[in-house]
Amino acid sequence: RDELLWLAQKLREEQVPHFWLAGGTKVLFSDQGFKGVVINLRRFKGIRELSPGRLEVLSGTPVAAVLAYGLKRGFGGLEFMAGVPATVGGALYMNAGAFGEEIGPWVEEVEILTPEGLKRFKSSPSWWSYRSFRGPSGVILSVVLRLNPTSPAEIKRKIEEVLRWRRAKQPLGLPSFGSVFKNPPSAAAGYLIERAGLKGLERGGAQISPKHANFIVNRGGARAEEVLYLMERMGEEVWRRFGVRLKPEVQIVSV
């Protein structure tokens, strides 16, 4: 924390452009890179049990590590996140979820590096909406999660069920940033993209997955501009055919 606070202060004082990176699962940097400092939080990780089922988790901790801790100690609730290659901080920023569940309701409080300094806040239901965090602005450094007492056997069963579904439905064998677009109210984004006839479309090393149309996979050497081209085609075709505007889940970072 001291190092991060010192660094944040220096970057503000020197007015250096900077970007806070969690796991990077939902981030696409332009081919020109980023002209500034990138602060990678992946090594800012750890789990501390405050009381049974109440865990303080540093933002760079992988979601998988929280699931593993819960499995060992008998605390469940986040099994729907199994297979999501995100850090806890990144998952909070987009209120990650699956199967009709989201991480937001499991949050009790957050520690945020705000422009005024480091502050702790009690979570509010108003912060969390579909794939969005509307809490105080700043950088999430830690979170307190409250999980439910659950038998390890039940936790394991749920995790295995989720992983089986992901292996069957999603192209896990190639690099991707998961779902490209948020699901609109009318229908799943993948369904609309598939109906638009775009499944399997390629541009350079990037391809709209033949297995799941809301995934863009890197078949080798894909450039950001190729991914962006496919994203634009997906959005344009769905709008033209169905009158639905798709909103990206992915954060695009340019120079």
Q: Which of 59, 102, 123, 131 is catalytic?
A: 131
- Spatial distance between the Cα atoms of 81 and 44, rounded to a whole number of angstroms: 20
Provide the 8-state DSSP code for 144.
E
Confirm whether 219 is a catalytic residue. no
Continuous segment of H or E residues that includes residue 118: strand 117-122
- Tokens 């936790």, located at residue: 155
Q: Does 237 participate in catalysis according to the annotation?
A: no
**The one catalytic residue among 59, 123, 179, 209:** 179
Helix (DSSP H) and strand (DSSP E) numbers for the chain: 6, 19
Within 13 Å of residue 84, how many CA atoms lie on the same side as its CB? 28
142 is catalytic: no
- Tokens 């090393």 belong to 205
- Distance of alpha carbon 229 from alpha carbon 224, whole angstroms: 9
Would you name the residues annotated as active-site residues?
Answer: 131, 179, 249
